[in-house]
Amino acid sequence: MSKLSSQDIEKRLLRFPDWEYFDNAIHAEFEFENFKDCFSAMSRIAFECEALNHHPNWSNVYNVLTISLSTHDVDGVTEKDFNLAEAIEAIVEPIDE
Amino acid sequence: MSKLSSQDIEKRLLRFPDWEYFDNAIHAEFEFENFKDCFSAMSRIAFECEALNHHPNWSNVYNVLTISLSTHDVDGVTEKDFNLAEAIEAIVEPIDE
């Protein structure tokens, strides 16, 4: 997996309006109804992470989930991060809306 | 629930060697074998949080879990935080050791 250029990342981010690129990673914050809903989404995301063998840097406070994705090996963002972001969106969006 | 003094907190922390007090909260970091073990512990902790109706500020990167506990209403640490810390220790220690 090769590191994507800023230009490549910004182009891909047009399809991911929840996500922003800074500090060599892509970041998103999602708000849920309550802790249970938030942690349920986290559990579903955790399974995707294992399936993709790619893991986020993420934090949670009550109903808010903050996620940063980057690829450690290249110290930047790769297709792996966008694959995981896409999987996360598929989980979060139906709950979030 | 009333805010505990620094002295009260430090005294209670003698029973919690994994935890440190700073920035008006108590903090601990736990390391697991891998992401699956770490997220399994998080799931068990999540149930305790709901049962105690008290929720952490926590982050995860792969096999590392970082937890901060404080009581928002009093902007400090209360017995609630030590109750949750105790529940967390009961979950994490057998896995961790």
pLDDT tens by residue, B35-75: 999 999 999 999 999 999 999 999 999 999 999 999 999 99
pLDDT of residue B30: 97
Instruction: Give the percent of chain B with pLDDT over 90.
Output: 94
Residues of B within an 8 Å Cβ radius of A = 35-36, 39, 42-43, 46, 49-50, 55-62
Does residue B94 have a pLDDT over 80? Answer: no
Instruction: Give the whole-angstrom CA distance, residue B4 versus residue A61.
Output: 22
Q: Name the residue among B50, B55, B62 with its Cβ closest to that of A55.
A: B62
Alpha carbon of B85 to those of A12, A21, A52, B28: distances in Å? Answer: 42, 35, 32, 9
pLDDT of residue B93: 79
Between the two ends of chain B, the Cα-to-Cα distance in Å is: 33
Is B1 among the domain residues?
A: no
B59 to A58: CB separation less than 8 angstroms, yes or no: yes
- The CATH code of the domain that includes A59 is 3.30.1360.20
Single out the residue of B59, B74, B90, B89 nearest to residue B3, CA to CA: B74
Instruction: Give the whole-angstrom CA distance, residue A90 versus residue A95.
Output: 9
B55 to A61: CB separation less than 8 angstroms, yes or no: yes
The residue length of chain A stands at 97
Give me A89's structure tokens.
């969106």
The residue length of chain B stands at 97
Is A52 among the domain residues?
A: yes
Within 8 A of A73 by CB-CB distance, chain B residues are none
pLDDT confidence tier of residue A95, bands split at 50, 70 and 90: low
B35 to A43: CB separation less than 8 angstroms, yes or no: no
pLDDT of residue B1: 80
Q: Choose, out of B39, B44, B58, B64, the residue to mutate when testing the contact with A (most A CBs < 10 Å).
A: B39
Return the sign of the alpha-carbon dihedral for residues B67, A30, A46, B48. positive
Does residue B96 have a pLDDT over 70? Answer: no
Does residue B19 have a pLDDT over 60? Answer: yes
Instruction: Give the whole-angstrom CA distance, residue B12 versus residue B9.
Output: 5
Domain range spanning residue A36?
6-96
- Section B3-12 average pLDDT: 97
Is B58 among the domain residues?
A: yes
Each residue of A17-68: pLDDT tens digit? 999 999 999 999 999 999 999 999 999 999 999 999 999 999 999 999 999 9
Instruction: Give the whole-angstrom CA distance, residue B29 versus residue B55.
Output: 16
Look up residue B34 and give its DSSP letter. S
Beta-strand runs (E) in A1-97: 20-22, 25-31, 57-61, 64-69
Instruction: Find the closest chain A residue to B70 by CA distance.
Output: A61
Q: In what order do the strands lie in the sheet with A64-69?
A: A20-22, A25-31, A64-69, A57-61, B57-61, B64-69, B25-31, B20-22
Is A41 among the domain residues?
A: yes
Q: What is the mean pLDDT of chain B?
A: 95
- Cα of A59 to nearest chain B Cα, Å: 4
B59 to A59: CB separation less than 8 angstroms, yes or no: yes
Number of domains comprising chain B: 1
Within 8 A of B57 by CB-CB distance, chain A residues are 59-61
Is the whole-model pTM more than 0.80?
A: yes
Is A1 among the domain residues?
A: no
pLDDT of residue A93: 79
Helices H, strands E: what count in chain B?
A: 3, 4
